[in-house]
Amino acid sequence: MDTPVADAATTSLVLVGETCERSVRFSREDIATFAQLTGDTNPLHHDVQAAQRARHGEIIASGQQTTAQMIGLVASHFSRSGDGQERELLCLNFNFAFKAPVFAEQELLLHWRVASVEWNHSLDGWLFHADGRATVRNAHPCVIGRGTLLVRKAKGLLTRQE
């Protein structure tokens, strides 16, 4: 049976209120290349004329480009070992909502905040929920998200005995 932990201070692997953030900027070339690599043929990601005729009037990044950066940020932060604690991290679930387009050359601030932490006995680790967002110049959110992740102390590498 999983036992909720009200006081996340019982672990230093992940803490309620802990945050991570990073700024990113996509060039038109970045947007077109990412769309091509992921099989997204929507002309809004590579055709300037088509984008100008469309609703937004300019090339926009695909939703998966922004969310990939967001997932990469939270995964990197919570799998870190630079603080002397080796961690294992599993990203279990993410949900995203797209609120505004991401245009080329906009500076996006990616931000995650841990909302809750609880011990999960069956998974042998700390299950946590994080709320994320990608905003333009801290003004309006382009993408908001919620993730469920599992972190635990890294176990030593197993060696095969010959």
What are 132-153's pLDDT values in tens digits? 999 997 688 999 999 999 999 9
Q: Confirm whether pTM is higher than 0.85.
A: yes
Q: Judge whether residue 87 has pLDDT over 70.
A: yes
Q: Are strands 140-153 and 19-25 parallel, antiparallel or unpaired?
A: unpaired
Specify whether the CB–CB gap between 77 and 112 falls below 8 A.
yes
Task: Report percent pLDDT > 90 for the chain.
Answer: 72
Q: According to the 3-state scheme, what is the secondary structure of 29-94?
A: HHHHHHHHHCCCCCHHHCCHHHHHHCCCCCCECCHHHHHHHHHHHHHHHHCCCCCCCCEEEEEEEE
- Over residues 106-128, the pLDDT tens digits come to 999 999 999 999 999 999 999 99
At 58, list the tokens: 């300019």
**Is the CB of residue 128 less than 8 Å from the CB of residue 94?**
no
User: Cβ distance 134 to 102 under 8 Å?
Assistant: yes
Residue 130's CB is within 10 A of a number of other CB atoms, namely 25
8-26+60-153: CATH number: 3.10.129.10
Amino acid at 11: T
Q: Is residue 1's pLDDT more than 70?
A: no
Which helix (H) or strand (E) element contains residue 111? strand 107-120
